[in-house]
């Protein structure tokens, strides 16, 4: 497989495959992940009963995250794993049996198809969406020696309830503070006008996150979950800017471990 090719894994009927690989054969020392890249809904779930347009809002996916992740992967010539289904079907950065895995409400929007799911329905979503992504992550770390892993997300500036978020980006960590600080310092050094914070607007939690607690930390990798405000990646120019900022920052992290 060439570097420009993407490999799809685990398609069911006419639904899209849950996992897409970019640069699958790259031997780069860093593995990239984007769990909230897609908006797909399995055909048997129709539109989840959502109000019109809801799937296009930040509740349905991480707006701009896929474009940003692809651009960073290209700059680093690194492997990237994309998850194609909406986080409202199943959130692949949540433990599969947690309350947040299949949300019944997201930012005040009720998701009718997620109300009162029985164990069989939950298990079916896990086996067809979560498990293939988790297997891909495992595979990504087996394909080549990796010294770092990063998950790329975006967040919205304003939730329906709550104060306006002032950060342009947040670098999330729990046990690997040096990596998060290196990324933050690299970004702010390149553009001091940006507001970048540690562990904002979220924090890594054992029962609320998956990639870092279950994959990055146990392997002893340099890592963080990178959150960029989605109003920072609305245009191609913005995506290019942030991709360069992150590529430089991640190279700085890798340089520290050699």
**Per-residue pLDDT tens listing for the chain (258 residues):** 333 333 444 444 689 999 999 999 999 999 999 999 999 999 999 999 999 999 999 999 999 999 999 999 999 999 999 999 999 999 999 999 998 999 999 999 999 999 999 999 999 999 999 999 999 999 999 999 999 999 999 999 999 888 899 999 999 999 999 999 999 999 999 999 999 999 999 999 998 999 999 999 999 999 999 999 999 999 999 999 999 999 999 999 999 876
What pLDDT, on the 0 to 100 scale, is given for residue 7? 40
State the virtual CA torsion across 32, 35, 36, 37 in degrees, nearest 10. 50
Q: Report the pLDDT value the prediction gives residue 31, as an integer from 0 to 100.
A: 98
**Reduced to 3 states, what is the DSSP secondary structure of residue 160?**
coil
Give the pair of three-digit tokens for residue 124. 């079916």
Nearest of 116, 90, 120 to residue 102 by alpha carbon: 90
The total of other beta-carbon atoms located within 10 Å of residue 232's CB is: 20
The answer to whether the CB of 127 falls within 8 A of the CB of 72 is no
Q: Is the dihedral of CA 101, 102, 104, 108 positive or negative?
A: positive
- Look at residue 167 in the predicted model and tell me its pLDDT: 98
What CATH number belongs to 6-256? 3.40.630.40
At residue 6, φ and ψ (nearest 5 deg) are: -115, 140
Write down the H helix ranges in 62-221.
65-76, 119-125, 131-143, 177-190, 211, 217-219
CA distance 92 to 199: 20
What pLDDT, on a 0 to 100 scale, did the predictor assign at position 258?
67
Domain boundaries, the chain: 6-256
Q: Which backbone phi and psi does 51 adopt, to 5 degrees?
A: -60, 155
pLDDT score at 163: 87
pLDDT of residue 14: 83
Structure tokens at 79: 């492997």
The residues pairing with 21 across neighbouring beta strands, listed in sequence order, are 7, 81
Tokens of 243: 């991709």
Which three-class secondary structure string do you get for 130-155?
A: HHHHHHHHHHHHHHCCCCEEEEEEEE
Rg of the Cα atoms in the chain: 17
Enumerate long-range contacts of 139-145, CB under 8 Å, 24 or more apart.
Answer: 140/31, 140/33, 140/79, 140/81, 141/31, 141/215, 141/219, 143/24, 143/25, 143/27, 143/79, 144/26, 144/27, 144/28, 144/29, 144/79, 145/29
């Amino acid at each position: 497989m060439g570097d420009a090719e993407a490999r799809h894994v685990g398609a069911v009927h006419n639904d899209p495959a849950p996992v897409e690989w970019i640069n699958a054969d790259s031997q780069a020392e860093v593995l990239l992940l984007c769990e909230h890249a897609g908006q797909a809904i399995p055909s048997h779930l129709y539109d989840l009963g959502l109000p019109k347009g809801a799937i296009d809002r930040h509740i349905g996916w991480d707006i701009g995250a896929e474009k940003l992740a692809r651009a960073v992967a290209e700059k680093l010539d690194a492997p990237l794993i994309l998850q194609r289904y909406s986080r409202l079907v199943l959130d692949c950065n949540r433990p599969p049996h947690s309350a947040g895995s299949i949300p019944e409400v997201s930012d005040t929007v009720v998701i009718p198809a997620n109300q009162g799911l029985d164990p069989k329905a939950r298990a079916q979503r896990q086996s067809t969406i979560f498990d293939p992504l988790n297997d891909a992550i495992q595979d990504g770390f087996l394909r080549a020696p990796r010294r770092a892993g990063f998950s790329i997300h975006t967040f919205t500036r304003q939730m329906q309830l709550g104060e306006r978020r002032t950060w342009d980006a947040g670098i999330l960590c729990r046990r690997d503070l040096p990596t998060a600080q290196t990324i933050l310092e690299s970004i702010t050094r390149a553009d001091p006008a940006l507001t970048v914070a540690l562990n904002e607007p979220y924090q890594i939690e054992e029962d609320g996150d998956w990639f870092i607690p279950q994959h990055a930390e146990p392997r002893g990798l340099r890592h963080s979950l990178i959150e960029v405000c989605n109003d920072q990646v609305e245009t191609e120019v913005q995506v290019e800017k942030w991709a360069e900022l992150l590529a430089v920052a991640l190279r700085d992290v890798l340089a520290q471990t050699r």
